[in-house]
A = this chain, B = another copy of it.
């Protein structure tokens, strides 16, 4: 449960942000898939702190090692262990966190639940836990792309009040990677970057929205009741740190339409059944219909800021938390590979599940 995601493509992450290492065990990956360490490393580099001037400056090289499950470059069908050693463990940066609960962080809830916490950083609540997710997601993406032709692209759709105009049906990964904020709208991107720099200078932080699309997904993925594809995608994305909302297709905006405006008419496109509009976001009744799957995730502004905040200490006494050290003014650029990873994990799991449902 807790630290495992997926039923057939099962991903178990491990490691605290300021322990020795973080990583993942991937169980259930089909055998004889060619896995290149570079595929994993490329995604980890997109998730890595310190990759640009608008992310946290924590210094981690995040070099991945694969310790099991791959033999002569091919998967064995056995568990794949990937580990990344932690390097930048400036505990002194965190000494002030030992005694005080950071507002809107997991410090207090962890302590309430477990009666103990690794106060050197966020432990399992840290975004560092997502190293394992992104590594596992890289494997899932490789299998999905190579074996099934599925392509996943995520991007920053909004930062603070600045929204981008992006066509999910045509956007490319190269466009996303063309700037450090990972927003493929050339007008919005520079304004987002400027606003993030301003927030950094203020010691403040910004939230936003990541949108992601999966293209070339075959009809039939997903299960009709509790494991609807949107429910699984939602669970995966909402389990990312700082995520407060999820929607698919028309989402919250769709509630202002009537049924006759909202329904997606079917038509026959040269032998393939398609829909003229895609307000369903590629999923109907919990099952993919072959159209592009489009989701959005809302991320609140990062909780760590460098401004004084009202809080209590571990004994419950009122106190002020003085911001210090490094902070991530906007997690959105790094959240893109995280959202893509969760989407890949869900689609991979359901690709395997679908194999068990053939008559």
Q: How far is the CA of A83 from the CA of B222 in the complex (A)?
A: 26
A78 to B122, alpha carbons, bound, how many Å?
A: 12
Interface bits A256-289 vs B (CB < 8 Å: 1, else 0): 1111111111111001010110011101111111
The distance in angstroms between the C-alpha atoms of A219 and B355, with both chains bound, is: 19
Contact pattern, A 44-81, Cβ under 8 Å of B = 1, otherwise 0: 00000000000000000000010111010010111111
Quick one: which of B12, B230, B300 contacts A238, CB cutoff 8 A? B230
Other-chain residue from B231, B232, B357 in contact with A77 (beta carbon distance below 8 A): B357
Name the one of B110, B118, B225, B280 contacting A2, with C-beta atoms under 8 angstroms. B225
Shortest distance in angstroms between A258's beta carbon and chain B's nearest beta carbon?
Answer: 5
CB proximity of A353 to chain B, nearest CB, Å: 7
- Residue in B closest to A206 when the chains form the complex, CB atoms: B258
Residues facing B in A289-344 (CB within 8 A) are 289-290, 298-305, 307, 309-312, 316-318
Tell me the smallest distance from the CB of A109 to a CB of chain B, in Å: 4
- The contact of A223 among B2, B76, B310, B316, by CB within 8 Å, is B2
Given contacts A110-B287, A255-B209, A312-B268, contact A25 B30 (CB under 8 A): no
**A190 located at the interface, meaning its Cβ lies under 8 Å from any Cβ of chain B in the complex:** no
Say yes or no: B234 contacts A238, CB within 8 Å: yes
A271 to B318, CA, bound (A): 11
- The smallest beta-carbon distance between A162 and chain B, in angstroms, is 10
Known: A113-B287, A255-B209, A255-B298. A67 touches B15 (CB 8 A): yes
Residue A186 lies at the interface, judged by CB distance under 8 Å to chain B = no
Distance in angstroms from A319 CB to nearest chain B CB is 9
A185 in contact (CB, < 8 A) = no
Is the Cβ of A251 less than 8 Å from the Cβ of B244?
A: yes
How many A residues touch the partner, as a band? 35 or more
Among listed A16-24, A35-43, A173-181, interface-contacting one: A16-24
Report how far A265 CA is from B278 CA in the complex, Å.
42
Query: Which B residues lie within 8 Å of A289 (CB)?
Result: 108-109, 112
B255 touches A207 (CB 8 A): yes
| B residues near A250, Cβ cutoff 8 Å | 244, 300
Complex Cα distance A109/B224, Å? 9
User: B259 to A251, Cβ gap below 8 A?
Assistant: no
User: Out of B103, B219, B227, which one reaches A265, CB within 8 Å?
Assistant: B103
Q: Which residues of B contact A223 (CB under 8 A)?
A: 1-3
Q: Would B14 and A69 count as touching, CB distance under 8 A?
A: yes
Q: CA of A243 to CA of B252 in the docked complex: distance in angstroms?
A: 9
A312 lies within 8 A of B20 (CB): no
Which B residues are CB-close (under 8 A) to A149? Answer: none
Give bound CA distance, A113 to B290, whole Å: 11
16 contacts between A and B (CB under 8 A): A1-B353, A4-B4, A20-B67, A25-B25, A33-B359, A78-B123, A101-B273, A113-B224, A125-B286, A205-B258, A205-B260, A232-B235, A245-B245, A246-B247, A265-B310, A268-B312
